[in-house]
Amino acid sequence: MARILLIDDDGGVRRTVRRLLERAGHAVLEAGDGQEGLRLHREWRPDLIIADIFMPQVDGLELILQLRREAAAVPIVILSGGDGSGTPDLRKEAALLGAARVLSKPCAPDDLIGIVTRLLPQSGSPALVERAPPEG
């Protein structure tokens, strides 16, 4: 069982992704924004982080930068649908800043579980951070 920190300002997304991850056998802790996510990361030390880009307080890009300074080996999965305002798509920037994978919302549950499984450390060995171009 892995410890996964889920950071998204949309409560519906958090509930859906949390249920999916818990059914796959993982422990999940939720944060409603990037600032809370950083605090929980420092307290809980998760094995993997899933985060949105567009959030209040600390956005996903700043979150990635901060996490890379504090916990370079922890895989980060960005799950974002954009902000709907015509703002430039920042998913490519998330990958360049250090996200292991970047997925578009909504994504297929099997795709998310497959990526989480591949990114998690196996048998106590460090996670292999797999870099792939953003989807979408």
Map out the domains of the chain as residue ranges.
Answer: 3-119
Residue 128 scores a pLDDT above 60: no
Which pLDDT band, with edges at 50, 70 and 90, does 10 fall under?
very high
Token pair 């292999």: residue: 128
Q: How far is the C-alpha of 25 from the C-alpha of 37, rounded, in Å?
A: 21
Which one is predicted more confidently, 29 or 106? Answer: 29
Q: How far is the C-alpha of 117 from the C-alpha of 106, rounded, in Å?
A: 19
Q: What percent of the chain has pLDDT over 90?
A: 65
Mean pLDDT of the chain: 85
Q: Is 3-119 a domain of CATH 1.20.210.10?
A: no
Q: How far is the C-alpha of 37 from the C-alpha of 49, rounded, in Å?
A: 9
pTM of the model as a whole: 0.84
Please name every residue paired with 80 in a beta bridge, in sequence order, or none if there are none: 104
Residue 82 exposed, middle or buried by CB count within 10 Å (0-12, 13-18, 19+) = middle
